[in-house]
Structure formats: structure tokens, C-alpha cells
Amino acid sequence: MKDWDRLITVEEMEAATASLLENGKKVGADSWQQRVKNQTPHCGFGEAGTCCRICSMGPCRITPKSPRGICGCDVHGIVGRNFLRFTVGGTASHSDHGREIMHTLYETKENGNYTIKDPEKLIRIAKEWEMETEGKDIYELAHEVAVKGLMEYGKPFGTQLFAKRAPEHTQQLWENAGITPRAIDREVAEAMHMTHMGCSSLPEALVHQALRAGLSDGWGGSMMGTEFSDVLFGTPKPIDTTANLGVMEKDMVNIVVHGHDPSLSEMVVHYANDPEMIALAKSLGAKGINVCGVCCTANEVAMRHGIPMAGNFLSQENVVLTGACEAIVVDIQCIFPALGPLSKCFHTKFITTSHIARMPDSEFIEFSAESAAENAKAIVKTAVENFKNRTPELVNIPDIKANARVGYSVEAIVKVLDGVANSQVDTFGTTKPLLECVTSGVLRGAVAMVGCNNPKIRPDYAHIELMKKFLKNDIIVIVSGCSAQAAAKAGLMDPVLAKEYCGAGLKRVCELAGIPPVLHMGSCVDISRMLILAAELSKDSGIPISQLPVLGCAPEWMSEKAVSIGNYVVATGLDTFLGVDPYVKGSSEMGEWLTGENGIKKWVEANYTVETDIEKMGDLMIERIEAKRAALGI
Ligand code: XCC
Ligand code: SF4
């Protein structure tokens, strides 16, 4: 047993943060904790979604005395437009990440910077897209598939190719409601158009487009991001790693990768293993090079290479505060601009690499697929050379670290659960063993927990406490994004120790399959993996997705991307529980559309529940799972 073989509590993590903030004080560092104080109380109009600045006659704010904006728009129109814009901010970001991956796929070549690691998957998708694969060189095929995928963003006619992966019933619901997603860019542009001054102010129309745009993300941009990341970098398989701040190494060069696009982090990981770079590190007095991750980039490299995960969204400042971070290398999304000034307080190099995410006080080393090797080498070298600039008195690495088994792609889940529920060999390659666990009651159901941290919620507490509650009730938890890292940091992905939290049924499944009770499915674009899993469960059982005892939940979400995700998860038929209100509480009509019985539920058989009391949310979710079971008679 290693000294870190233990479970970590939220209190321990909080104590670690407190000690790091003390470290920051010594050098005059700012912190998000302080900025939250400066920003509180938040603007009430913004919080309720009742402020409009879509045209320059405003900004208009809705109060009992001024119930309409200058153009006459009422509160429901304003809240609805804000909600739709919030959604497509996320749709655009996720999907653009997917687009970058498609460009990387286009750049692949034999012995190039990027190659094809999962050719079978590429061929499988090409066939699914009805492309000719026979007799083609794999790189020729990759090139053609990349072009076809990129067309999904702007094709003038038709709907998303991957939408056909949904069960018939779901596709029919989408068809009936008119929300089958068309070209991704079109859904985003149309949403911006609809919310332009003097266009849509009818909640029904705005919510309708929010669902369709969301679906173009989940079953379009994000799904391409996931599937072709697998093609490029390998489809994840279970792999052991460690998580929490203790993964940083006192005697090594620490390079933290942060952001989302694995095209960058894969290369950094590769060059950190380069003998020349390791020799350089040793010549400068370090024992080697340690790459660790933050946010979704961490998920990507953990799942494919077992790179340790230093933390999630609200721990990004913590990695710099350790005083042991030689470089924090970022690409896109969820990067605090605060990292610029913060790294100036230490020796840390803050390296930005994408024209999409330029920030003050950073060193910009532009990264592109054509020059990826050169760029990555320059980045690693900069970090290594910075080791000598450390201030030893400022090094403070909290001694907290947990084991985590990660890498549960749908392919991996199907494989590991095969045979667990006494099923026969003929079920190989299906989700039937998992279904058997659920119908027999050994497992009561599943919860897909996703999303960020948000200072409005005690960081990681909601994720971890909810997970423990579900495990105790024999509900298996699948996770992605920063929710996944919350679990990993606490030890909930330790296949040995996490069993202690499980009910008897779940414990047995974990033991038989050798899995942790919380399954790491990846980054946020990888929520598309959850869609595929839900679709497969539905197809294999003949039960519509909305009737399966499976729920979605984002207790600590904060980003626009999370709202886009919420829309596609709900639109796929999964009831979704949010711990933070998406700025819609100012409109009763929007509330009804999203959370009521007569709104989106009529279209997609699922809706949202917003519940900021986390204990209550957990109870509601368990009740909902049991109600779905009862309705199925299982
Ligand atoms: Fe970002 Fe993906 Fe949220 Fe984490 S979970 S804070 S979106 S890194 Ni996506
Ligand atoms: Fe005000 Fe209407 Fe302009 Fe919005 S669109 S700022 S409500 S006048």
C-alpha cells in the first residue's frame, strides 16, 4: 500500500487550499476567493436574466414599474433570448473544439506530427457515414472523413449524420418537434439571428432553438470532437493514475497542461518524455519532468496516458500557488485570465497557445498542427529551463493524492461489464450485461454527473456528496469534466477504496468487473459518450431513453458550454438536475417551459429540475429513479 492509498475529504482539500492561499499572501497574489467577495452581491437583474442589452436603446431592466423594454419586449422574451444566447455560446465553443480536431485529422500523415491511432474506429465511422473504404490508404480515408465531418458545420441541407445514432423513438420525437439538428454553424447563427433586436421574443420559439442548437453540439460538434480524438489519439481503455495537488513533484519540473484540445497536450506529453528534454532537466538539478493536468485537458491525457490530474476548474490557481509549477500551458476554454498576474507572483511561465484564447501577462507560443512538434518542444524546453528560477521557500505542495482508475469509453464499459450479470457470451458487444444489472435491481440505475465548479456552491462538495449518496443507494455514477476530477481527487475512482461507499449491489458489480463505482468517461465533449451509452441501452432494451432509470445532473456548473450540454442531454430524453439556476428565474413562462409538465417535456419526454439545496437534489433524484423503475415494473 502506498502512502497515498486513502480517501480524501473535502475538508482536507479545503485545508490545502487555505495553506496555498497563505503561500500566495507572501507574494501578494490575488485569488478567486477574494474576487468573489469583491463581486458579491451580484447584480439581481443579471442573476434573474431580466436585463437586456441586445440593442443600444437599452440596457433595459425589467421591474414591476417597468414591465417592458423600450421595444416592448416583456420579461419572458428577455429571459428567453438571454437563455438562447447563453446556450449557443456553449454550442459554438464545444463545436469549434470539435472542428479543430477535424482539422487535426485532416493534417494526419504517415510519420507526421499526428497519425491515426485507432484506424478501426475511423473505418467504422466512415462506413456509418456511407463512405467508400475499400482499398483506401488510411490517410486518404482520414482526409476524406475530415472533409465530410467539416461539412457537418456548414452544409446547406440535411441534418447531423450522427443524429442517426439515436434510437428510432428519439429520432421520431425530434422530427415531430422539429429539432433534429441541421448544420452546426447554422444552428448557432440562427440563434444569434433569432435573438437580434426585433426578432423572436416568444419563449416557445427560443427554447425550441436552444434544444436544436444543443443537439447540434451533443450529436454533432462534441461527438465529432470525441470520436475523432479517439481516432487520432486512441480510444480510452481503463488505466490507473493519481489525482489531487499532491501529484505535483517537489524535485521535478512540473508542467501543468490546462484547457481542452488534446492536440496540444498530447504533444506536450510526448516531448516531456523526450530523452533530450529529460537530460536537460537533470542537468538543471531536477529529477525529471512531471506533466500533470487541470480541467478537461487533464481528463484527455489521464484517460489515454495515465497522466495525473492535479485538479479541476477551481483548483487552477492552486497549482500555481504551490510555487512548484514551472509552466502552465493552456489552449482553449475555462482558463482564468487571473493566471497571468498570478504566475507573475511566482516563477511560473503562463504559456498561451491558441489565437482563440489570448490573455495578458502570458507568453504566446502559437500552436498549430503543421508545426506541432516544434511548438511542443519549445514549450517543454521553456518549462524545463525555468526550473532554476524556483524560489525553494515558496514551494508548498499539499500532501493529498488519491488513486484513480480512469478511461471508461463506451467501448471500455461494454467490455468490462460483459459477463458480470451472468449473461451469456452472445451478449458480447452490447450493453445487455449492464441492463441486466439494472433490471435485476442489483443496480437501481445510473446518474451521469457532469459540469464545472462554481463558487456559488462549496467547491467539489456537491459533486462528492451527491456521488456518495448515489453509491450508497446502488446507483452507478458516470462522470466527465470537472465533476470527474472532483471524484478522482476524493478517491471515488479508487477501485479498491471507493467500494466502501457502495451499497451491496453496486459493490458486487464493482468487484466482479474490477471497476470503481464512479466511471470516468472523459472530458466535457465526451458527454457525447454518455449519449451513445444511453442510446445503446435504449436500443438493447427496447425502452425509450426517457423511461430508463438514468438521470443527468450538473450540481456545480458555471459555463455556457454546460447550458448547451444541459439542452442536449434533456433533448435526448434524460431528466436533468441543475444545482445553479441558468439565469431564468425572472420568467415564470421560461420556468414552465424548462421545468414544467407542459414545456419541453411534451417534445422530448424530459425536463430540467433546478435545485440549489444539494441534499434535496439527491433525494429528488433517487425518488425519480425509483419512480422510473416502478413505471417499468422492475
Ligand atoms: Fe470547464 Fe471542461 Fe466546466 Fe470544467 S467542466 S469548468 S466547462 S473544464 Ni466542462
Ligand atoms: Fe431594450 Fe428591446 Fe433593445 Fe433589449 S432589444 S435593449 S429590451 S429596447
Model pLDDT for residues 155-172, shown as the tens digit of each residue? 999 999 999 999 999 999
Residue 149 — φ and ψ, nearest 5°? -65, -40
Q: Which of 56, 63, 73, 194 to mutate to test the pocket of ligand 2 (most atoms within 8 A of CB)?
A: 73
Three-state DSSP state, 111? coil
Three-state DSSP state, 309? strand
Q: Is the pLDDT of residue 422 over 50?
A: no
**pLDDT tier at 196 (50, 70, 90 boundaries)?**
very high
- Compute the distance from residue 315 Cα to the ligand 1 centre, in Å: 12
- Compute the distance from residue 343 Cα to the ligand 1 centre, in Å: 21
Dump pLDDT digits (tens) for 221-257. 999 999 999 999 999 999 999 999 999 999 999 999 9
Q: Is the pLDDT of residue 183 over 60?
A: yes
Residue nearest to atom 5 of ligand 1 (CA): 452
- Compute the distance from residue 215 Cα to the ligand 2 centre, in Å: 28
- Compute the distance from residue 74 Cα to the ligand 2 centre, in Å: 10
Determine contact, residues 98/525, Cβ cutoff 8 Å.
Answer: yes
Mean pLDDT of 308-336: 98
- Compute the distance from residue 334 Cα to the ligand 1 centre, in Å: 6
State the pLDDT at residue 425: 43
- Compute the distance from residue 239 Cα to the ligand 2 centre, in Å: 52
535 lines ligand 1 (CB under 6 A): no
User: Ligand 2: which residues within 6 Å by Cβ?
Assistant: 52-55, 57-60, 69-71, 73, 78, 197
To the nearest 10°, the Cα dihedral for 124, 125, 130, 136?
Answer: -70
Rounded to an integer, what distance in angstroms lies between the CA atom of residue 452 and that of residue 79? 23
Mean pLDDT of 456-466: 97
Q: Which residues contact 123 (CB under 8 A, 6 or more apart)?
A: 133, 141
Pick the atom of ligand 1 nearest to 557's CA: 3
- Compute the distance from residue 297 Cα to the ligand 1 centre, in Å: 10
Q: Out of 47-51, 350-354, 425-429, pick the least confident.
A: 425-429
Instruction: State the ligand closest to the CA atom of 261.
Output: 1
**pLDDT tier at 1 (50, 70, 90 boundaries)?**
very low
524 lines ligand 1 (CB under 6 A): yes
pTM over 0.85: yes
Q: Is the pLDDT of residue 294 over 90?
A: yes
484 lines ligand 1 (CB under 6 A): no
Residue nearest to atom 3 of ligand 2 (CA): 55
* Cα torsion 425, 303, 123, 332: sign: positive
Q: Is the pLDDT of residue 426 over 60?
A: no
Dump pLDDT digits (tens) for 545-596. 999 999 999 999 999 999 999 999 999 999 999 999 999 999 999 999 999 9
Pick the atom of ligand 2 nearest to 59's CA: 6
Q: Pick from 485, 449, 101, 461: which is nearest to 294 by CA?
A: 485
Rounded to an integer, what distance in angstroms lies between the CA atom of residue 363 and that of residue 568? 36
Tell me the three cell numbers of residue 416.
468490462
State the pLDDT at residue 6: 87
Q: Pick from 485, 446, 458, 473: which is nearest to 555 by CA?
A: 458
Pick the atom of ligand 2 nearest to 58's CA: 6
Q: Is the pLDDT of residue 504 over 60?
A: yes
State the pLDDT at residue 339: 98
State the pLDDT at residue 419: 57
- Compute the distance from residue 58 Cα to the ligand 2 centre, in Å: 5
Mean pLDDT of 29-50: 97
Q: Pick from 632, 8, 578: which is nearest to 315 by CA?
A: 8
* Cα torsion 84, 86, 89, 91: sign: negative
- Residue 290's beta-bridge partner residues? 254
Q: Out of 177-186, 351-360, 415-424, 548-557, pick the least confident.
A: 415-424
Q: In this structure, how many other beta carbons lie within 10 angstroms of the beta carbon of residue 490?
A: 29
Q: Higher model confidence: residue 248 or residue 6?
A: 248
Q: Which of 61, 70, 196 to mutate to test the pocket of ligand 2 (most atoms within 8 A of CB)?
A: 70
Rounded to an integer, what distance in angstroms lies between the CA atom of residue 393 and that of residue 173? 62
Task: Name the DSSP class of 397.
Answer: -
Instruction: State the ligand closest to the CA atom of 580.
Output: 1
Residue nearest to atom 7 of ligand 2 (CA): 69
Pick the atom of ligand 1 nearest to 559's CA: 7
Rounded to an integer, what distance in angstroms lies between the CA atom of residue 564 and that of residue 485? 21
Q: Tell me the average pLDDT of the chain.
A: 96
Instruction: State the ligand closest to the CA atom of 453.
Output: 1
Rounded to an integer, what distance in angstroms lies between the CA atom of residue 510 and that of residue 499? 7
316 lines ligand 1 (CB under 6 A): no
Rounded to an integer, what distance in angstroms lies between the CA atom of residue 244 and that of residue 607? 34
Determine contact, residues 312/460, Cβ cutoff 8 Å.
Answer: yes
Pick the atom of ligand 2 nearest to 81's CA: 4
Rounded to an integer, what distance in angstroms lies between the CA atom of residue 356 and that of residue 335? 12
